[in-house]
Structures are given as C-alpha cells and as structure tokens.
Amino acid sequence: MIPRLIGTAIKNPQPHDIKVGLVAPPTALQHFPPAFANGSGPFRFTIYASEDAARAAIDNRSVDGALIFGPGSDPRLIVAGAAGDAVVGVITGAFTNVFKAQDQTLTVETVHPFASADPHGLILFFVVLAVVVSTLVAMAGFGLRSQSGFGLRLIMVVVYAVLAALVGMGMARWIAGDYGSGFRVATALVALGSAAIGAVVAGSARLLGAPGVVLAAIIVVLLDLVSSGGPLGSNLLPDFYRWLAPGMPVAQLYSAMRSALYFDNGGIAMPVAVLGAWLAGGVLLMALAELIRSRSHPRVAPAPAR
C-alpha cells in the first residue's frame, strides 16, 4: 500500500496551478505566449495594475512570483524564495527560456528567501515530519495502554504538543541559527499541528482501539505526508493529491511555518483555520469515543457495606 501511494504521487510529476502575478500594458499581453494562457499551462495568472500591487500579493502569498513588463525595458521576474524550490524553479526556468528564445534578458529578483543556513527549507520540513510521526507514536501508545478518561487524554495531547514544538523548533534553531522574529509564532503553529494530529489519533485509539490507530496513521500521517509533496510542495503532484493537500495538516503546517518565518505572517489565516478544524474534529472524536465507551461500559458503584 505504501509503495503504491508514493508511486502514484511521484510518477511523471508535472507543474500545475502555480500562481503568478502579471504587470504589463495591454500591448504586451497581446503578445504573451499562448502556452502560458490561463487554463492551458502550468501557471495561473492574476493581472495587477502596478508593481507595488504585485509585490503586495507576493507578500501576502496570493501569488508565488510576478512578471513585470516595464515601458522600454527588459522584463523582470520577482519570485518568493520561501515558496519552495520546485515552484521557484518552474517559474524561473519557464520564463527565462521563453524570453531567451526572443533574445530578451530576464532579470530575476528573489524576495522572502529561506534562511541562509536552511536554503531549501529542509530543516523546517523535517521538523514537521518528526513532530507528526512522534505524535502518532506517543498518542497511539498512550491511547491503547491507558484507560483514562477524556480530560486526562486531552491534557496529554496538549502537553505533548507543547513539548514536541519546543524540542523540534529548538533543534531547528540549534542547527540553522536564528530564524528571526517569527520563530515564536512558528513554534506555536507546530504545537497546534501536533495537537490536531494527536487529538485525531487519541480519539481514534479510544473509539476503535488498534484498528483506529492504523486508520489514523493512514490518513493523518501516510496520506497526509504524501499529499503534501514534502518540501517541494503539492504543485507537481497528480490531481487527487493536489486536491487533497489544502485540507490536510502537513501541507498547511509547513505553509504556516514559512508564512510566520519568512512572510511576516502573510497568508497564515487559511493554514491556521485548517489546523484548527482538525483539532476541533479530533477533540469531538475524543468526546464521542468517551461517550460511547461510557454507555457500553457503565461504571458500577460498589454496594454499601452492611
């Protein structure tokens, strides 16, 4: 099952729906390559009235790059480095080749780069990977071995999430150095992601036992990690995985961490909403499991001594 999931995800990767801003006079748009038209190529374009508007869209992560046509000058490309190597590589390579064929030089400017000690965002993604897997193991072990009630289970989910976030981000900082002013927000987001996954695993373990843990592992760990596309992102994955990724915790957690660290919290609302929804769903699952177990295994009060 695992090889099949991974194999279908990475087979023949093709870029899709990469968001690019476009600033150009109408005359330039008329000569824009048809291969890049919306709906017929790897890019999804949004036209902006000015360069400032396009830069603002990059800042809030509405687009991952912007192509600027100025009067009497060569075209310029602005890309967000922390959008990911795959996205930046596709944008830069495609437009560089197009303008090279037209004997034009494309100037590329990189904004919002990754930290110099983590130039590809790999350390951050491995923090996500470690936290997700360790949360599964910890909550599965506690959930299957303990007969404690809802309150203690919820406390364990929260405590482990906080500890995992502190250790994970602490290790990242020790390896890569200072991540800047967004470090605390990123750490809080890791805790939120761990709590969301931990609540789902704890609820599944309480409700279904070992089969519930297996089901949770398949959904919130295996399928979650595969659909995220790893540090490269989901834009190169097949349709099913690209459809799935925006609603899964891993892709949104990695995106939220980059928003906090490199975009001054730009575009952070949607990832937080998705992680919050998973956490709420996990807590409801825990409560439901406790309710079902309490009804199927009612506690019998001891008879009074005579």
Residue 127 shares a structural domain with residue 220: yes
Residue 258 shares a structural domain with residue 139: yes
pLDDT at position 48 is 95
Residue 267, both tokens: 């575009």
pLDDT at position 305 is 56
Residue 28 shares a structural domain with residue 152: no
pLDDT tens for the chain, 306 residues long, are 555 555 555 566 688 889 999 998 876 666 566 656 555 578 999 999 999 999 999 999 999 999 998 777 788 999 999 999 999 999 999 999 988 888 888 999 999 999 999 999 999 999 999 999 999 999 999 988 878 889 999 999 999 999 999 999 999 999 998 898 899 999 999 999 999 999 999 999 999 999 999 999 999 999 999 999 998 899 988 888 999 999 999 999 999 999 999 999 999 999 999 999 999 999 999 999 989 877 776 654 555 555
pLDDT at position 103 is 84
Number of domains in the chain: 2
pLDDT at position 161 is 98
Residue 157 shares a structural domain with residue 247: yes
Q: pTM for the full model?
A: 0.90
Residue 39 shares a structural domain with residue 186: no
- The residues near 12 (Cβ < 8 Å, ≥ 6 apart) are none
Residue 1 in domain: no
Q: Do residues 275 and 249 lie in contact, with contact meaning Cβ atoms separated by under 8 Å? A: yes
Indicate the residue among 111, 137, 160 that finishes a domain: 111
Max distance between CA atoms of the chain, in angstroms, equals 102
Residue 116 in domain: no
What is the rounded CA–CA span in Å between residue 213 and residue 207? 10
pLDDT at position 8 is 59
Residue 95 shares a structural domain with residue 234: no
Give the long-range contacts of residues 143-152, CB within 8 A, separation 24 or more.
Answer: 143/201, 143/202, 143/204, 143/205, 143/206, 143/213, 144/205, 144/209, 144/210, 144/213, 149/290, 150/286, 150/287, 150/290
- The residues near 47 (Cβ < 8 Å, ≥ 6 apart) are 21, 22, 23, 24, 29
What CATH number should be reported for the domain holding residue 22? Answer: 3.40.190
